[in-house]
Structure 1
Amino acid sequence: MLLISRLCTGQISEAFFEHFTVDDGLSQSSVNYIAQGKKGFLWLGTQDGLNKFDGYKFKFYQNNPLDTNSLSGNWVYSIDTDTLGIVWIGTNNGLNKLYQNSELIKRYNSNPKDPNSLCENEVFGVLVDRFGSVWVKTASALSKLDTATGKFTRFEPQIDFFRPNRSDKGFPLLEDEEGIWVGSATGLLYFNRKLEQFKSYNHAPSDLNSISDDFITGLIFDKNGTLWISTHYGLNKFNKKTRKFQHFYNALTPSGCPITNNINHICYGYDGYIWLATYGGGLNKFNPETHTVEVYKFQKNNENSISYDYLNFVFEDKSHNLFIGTEGAGLDKLDLKPKKFLLYKNSFGENSLKLSENVIASIYAEGDEIWVGTWDNGLDIVNRKTGKVKHFSNQSPVGERIVGNNVHVIMKDSRNLLWLGTQNGITIYDKQKNKFSDLKTHFSFKFYPNFNNNRIYTMLEDNKGNVWVGTKNGLQLFDMKNYNVTSFWKSITDTLSLFDNNIMSLMCDIDGSIWIGTSAGLNKYDYKTNKFLRIGSPKNSQIKAGKNKYYKISNIYIYEIIEDKIDGSIWIGTGSGLNHYDKSNGTFQ
């Protein structure tokens, strides 16, 4: 007997689960079984009908007492598909054969007077073998359907092994080279096709090498061909040579993670992990090499957690999406493919991997660190290797404190200093000293603008080494050689002043000209004349290009300005689209 250990970060592991419920078109909220057909559709068995799912929409099939071509029973226990695209459905009232092209259903029901009919109407398990034969598990027999003749051959254990076998869930069937493994409520059976004989495996309290429990819920082969069995009391690994079972009982570990022994189903993943759908313990990810487990449980304040801890079924599709059928909360989906994007977000609870705020105002990346300025909760520094996040705010200790919690812009200058623009001024980070300080403490300027309650939206170091700071109330130029500060504002009487005091973007082109995007148009600053050329008109949103020629700009709100490194043209992001300005000929697109 082996007690498996638990990997715990906090209490549970985190992942992004998608949820599908009756509100999305699912016929019923308890999903008993999941299979994938030849055409890629998922087939879901619920307690009120069969569902076909294309990844977006559900179509369901239910019993209609007036239609013999409808589903024979609404409680679906088991599903399998064949190479022809036919879907086989085991229900509480017979076996069904669904033709996908015509969507007609053929029923197979028990007839006490016909020994070649279905043995009983409750079909707990369905399996299409590699020869195309359909195997059916009912309460008292394993039957083989000849699809050509429609006749069943019954194979009944010599002992009354299948009884009592009533369950609200199905039982697993699994094929190997010589026969069929059969799960039941009273033990594990193996049916040898050639000999047409059963061999049983039962739990024996006095035998530590017997199976851990007789209620069999799942059967899988791993990449080495080893058989794994889930039960209502733990996970088992079967040694085919010794005929012995190795047990993996879930147990409370010193870290205190809540777990359960009651496993309703298992699935072998493409990456070698075994997924356990437990009843009350959520979704478990078991590593068969290290015997460790990660737990995914429902979190009340996390809408992306698994939707329920009581699970019926787990299935991986051909695209490596994991689908989880719950008991009363619908269907969940987890993408197992390597993530192209790693999500950092704020959520409830203490966790060093989470951001302090979900509204991101600015980002700066260097090396393994990502600096994230939030809208209202300070600065986060994310280490891309470790995933850990350090947080800084206006409440942090001296040396780590920033002047405002709305960090709108982060800029690195030629001195290797980081400038953080906030709603209350500028914080300077000296990387060499690993210290944060405000602008006044770090530099000795002759004059300091009043940044209190004046949001800083953009900053730029030009090719002269001067720093431009754009705010919601004007533009500031910091002369970093002479430590002078010059302020610029809109003047109603001066057409060579700024279009507007709300400065939204800044750019220095290859010629050293400064381009300023405002909420009322585009300006270009000339160092020689100390004037601003207005190249966008607030009234008609046009850019002048040559004598009496105008080219319309899509919007006067200039959010971003970038110079094209290839041809020197200007790309302008506005409130209603992207614009292109060719400086060489004055044309605008």
Structure 2
Amino acid sequence: MILSAFCLFLTGQKLDQADYKFRHLNSSHGLSNNQISSIHKDRFGFVWFGTVSGLNRYDGHSFKTYKNIPGDSTTIPFNNVQRIFEDHRGSLWILSQDNQLTIFNPYKDVFCSDYDLLTREDHIPSDYISSLVIDSGSNLWVSTNQYGVFRVDAQTDEIERFHELRGNKNDISSDLVTDIVADTDSTVLIVNAQGGVERLDIETGNVVSSYESRILSDVPVGDYYSVFVDQSGNLWIYSEQSDLGLFYLDVSNGRELHFSVNDTRYNLASNIVTGILQDEKGHIWVSTDHGGLQIIDKSDFSVINVRTTEGASNSLSQNSITSLMRDNSGTIWIGTYKEGVNYYHPDLFQFKLFSHNPFSGGGLPANDIDCFAEDNKGNLYIGTNGNG
């Protein structure tokens, strides 16, 4: 028996792609389609996946699929699901690729279009909805890219609209609001089609502060921007519909960074950003189209590119990522364009796996292991069956 000189040195290493391992869900597990468009975890603990062929509810073990049944008005009216939001009542707002809206009642397990918030006299218009968020007071905020922003009071269900023509000097600057997110205990944050970001007081709807990126101001036309607020209160702005890269703004000192494929220091593998989140270590995860994941260490803004590795069963399943979500357990869910769902948690894999991969070097020469030996320096030698 010849022992291979495959040694394990237990020394500190810089974080790299190998530190990120994923498990997968796809049509073989019951997913209705492997092309994922959106992901949402509801208050009951179900994870929802929007696909081009049905809405899927996952309970951690199996899927329940919702599809349109012609002639049955209680079923979802379309199968191409684009976005999923949840309101203050627990109802899901489901948007199609062509901007149709339906409401799912989780208590009755049915869909409807005559939801009271959309049909009464002071209703929220069902077209042009860009996002929903619930603030710290449990009020619902709905942003639209035509009509400004609507707030639904959690106690009274009163709807109030905030728009640019109210005649108040503290009004929002544009009714073309493309995203809204929860911010501090007293504010929500919106971004408009020009890339301007404004903080709104949740009680009055007044703008209490605003930010305009110097870098974004050079973009010649408006876009469908999204915004993310990190744990330090700093802003990350991107567009899923354009190859603009990722813009960072430190609100405390005005520092701006532009992450893109053309920047060697702040590099992205793709300029089309499809999602962003922050993990428990404070790292920023950026999902891209055809570029996999970029993970940014905020201490020095270094970037790690996590991509699919051929032959590795626990690697990212595809580099074209369509959606990204971190749930309340710390699990990160990743939707892909053609290869289903990936999910990550630091505790998913308790042991580091060393194996043979015929498509990459640096691993074991074979997976048939017969024996181990340790030398006086602490190096571990692994003997294989016929491969050294």
**TM-score range for the pair, normalised by the shorter chain length:** 0.7 to 0.9
**Map of 2:93 onto structure 1:** 89
- Counterpart AA for 2:355: K
How far apart are 1:96 and its partner, in Å? 1.6
- Cα distance in 2 for partners of 1:37, 1:112 equals 21
Question: Structure 2 length normalisation: TM-score?
Answer: 0.77
Indicate how the Cα distance of structure 1 residues 88 and 321 shifts in structure 2: closer, same or farther if over 3 A, else same.
same
Indicate how the Cα distance of structure 1 residues 16 and 288 shifts in structure 2: closer, same or farther if over 3 A, else same.
same
How far apart are 1:348 and its partner, in Å? 3.2
- Cα distance in 2 for partners of 1:188, 1:49 equals 35
Indicate how the Cα distance of structure 1 residues 254 and 234 shifts in structure 2: closer, same or farther if over 3 A, else same.
closer
* 1:295 matched to 2:302: no
For the 8 Å contact 1:31–1:331, the answer to whether it is kept is yes
- Cα distance in 1 for partners of 2:175, 2:43 equals 34
- Cα distance in 2 for partners of 1:109, 1:83 equals 13
- Cα distance in 2 for partners of 1:138, 1:83 equals 18
Of residues 341, 349, 367 in structure 2, which corresponds to 1:358? 367
Of residues 121, 124, 130 in structure 1, which corresponds to 2:127? 121
Of residues 213, 238, 262 in structure 2, which corresponds to 1:230? 238
For the 8 Å contact 2:260–2:268, the answer to whether it is kept is no
Indicate how the Cα distance of structure 1 residues 338 and 60 shifts in structure 2: closer, same or farther if over 3 A, else same.
closer
How far apart are 1:295 and its partner, in Å? 1.0
**Map of 1:420 onto structure 2:** none
For the 8 Å contact 1:201–1:211, the answer to whether it is kept is no
For the 8 Å contact 2:102–2:111, the answer to whether it is kept is no
In terms of fraction of residues, the more strand-rich structure is: 1
- Counterpart AA for 2:250: N
- Cα distance in 1 for partners of 2:219, 2:15 equals 25
Of residues 34, 38, 47 in structure 2, which corresponds to 1:42? 47
Deviation per residue, 1:18-50 (Å, 9 max, x gap): 222223222333322222223322122333433
Indicate how the Cα distance of structure 1 residues 181 and 30 shifts in structure 2: closer, same or farther if over 3 A, else same.
farther
**Map of 2:5 onto structure 1:** none
Q: What pairs up with 1:408-557 in 2 under 5 angstroms?
A: none
- Cα distance in 2 for partners of 1:190, 1:275 equals 23
**Map of 2:337 onto structure 1:** 327
Q: What pairs up with 1:180-329 in 2 under 5 angstroms?
A: 180-183=188-191, 185-190=193-198, 192-193=200-201, 194-197=203-206, 207-208=214-215, 215=223, 218-231=226-239, 232-241=243-252, 244=254, 246-251=256-261, 259-329=269-339
- Cα distance in 1 for partners of 2:197, 2:121 equals 23
Deviation per residue, 1:175-198 (Å, 9 max, x gap): 333432234554244252444346
For the 8 Å contact 1:93–1:123, the answer to whether it is kept is no
Deviation per residue, 1:337-357 (Å, 9 max, x gap): 3852111011134443x1111
- Cα distance in 2 for partners of 1:190, 1:254 equals 31
For the 8 Å contact 1:298–1:309, the answer to whether it is kept is yes
- Cα distance in 1 for partners of 2:367, 2:230 equals 40
- Cα distance in 2 for partners of 1:282, 1:357 equals 28
- Cα distance in 1 for partners of 2:232, 2:226 equals 18
- Cα distance in 1 for partners of 2:299, 2:320 equals 26
* 1:140 matched to 2:146: yes
Question: Structure 1 length normalisation: TM-score?
Answer: 0.53
Rg larger in structure = 1
Of residues 4, 7, 24 in structure 1, which corresponds to 2:29? 24
Indicate how the Cα distance of structure 1 residues 57 and 359 shifts in structure 2: closer, same or farther if over 3 A, else same.
same
**Map of 1:345 onto structure 2:** 355
- Counterpart AA for 1:238: L
How far apart are 1:247 and its partner, in Å? 1.5
For the 8 Å contact 2:85–2:131, the answer to whether it is kept is no
For the 8 Å contact 1:139–1:162, the answer to whether it is kept is yes
How far apart are 1:87 and its partner, in Å? 4.0
How far apart are 1:278 and its partner, in Å? 0.8
- Cα distance in 2 for partners of 1:122, 1:247 equals 31
State the percentage of identical aligned residues. Answer: 21
- Counterpart AA for 1:181: L
For the 8 Å contact 1:36–1:317, the answer to whether it is kept is yes
For the 8 Å contact 1:320–1:337, the answer to whether it is kept is no
**Map of 2:4 onto structure 1:** none
- Counterpart AA for 2:343: K
**Map of 1:570 onto structure 2:** none
- Counterpart AA for 2:144: T
3-state DSSP class of the match of 1:187?
A: coil
3-state DSSP class of the match of 1:23?
A: helix
Count of aligned pairs? 356
Let me know the Cα RMSD of the aligned residues: 3.6
Indicate how the Cα distance of structure 1 residues 132 and 273 shifts in structure 2: closer, same or farther if over 3 A, else same.
same
For the 8 Å contact 1:183–1:189, the answer to whether it is kept is yes
Indicate how the Cα distance of structure 1 residues 80 and 338 shifts in structure 2: closer, same or farther if over 3 A, else same.
same
**Unaligned stretches of 5+ in structure 1?**
1-6, 166-170, 379-589
For the 8 Å contact 2:294–2:305, the answer to whether it is kept is yes
- Cα distance in 2 for partners of 1:24, 1:184 equals 39
Higher relative contact order (CA 8 A, sep 6+): 2
3-state DSSP class of the match of 2:28?
A: helix
- Cα distance in 2 for partners of 1:149, 1:107 equals 22
3-state DSSP class of the match of 1:32?
A: strand
- Cα distance in 1 for partners of 2:334, 2:63 equals 16
For the 8 Å contact 1:217–1:265, the answer to whether it is kept is no
- Counterpart AA for 2:84: I
- Cα distance in 2 for partners of 1:151, 1:87 equals 17
- Cα distance in 2 for partners of 1:261, 1:189 equals 21
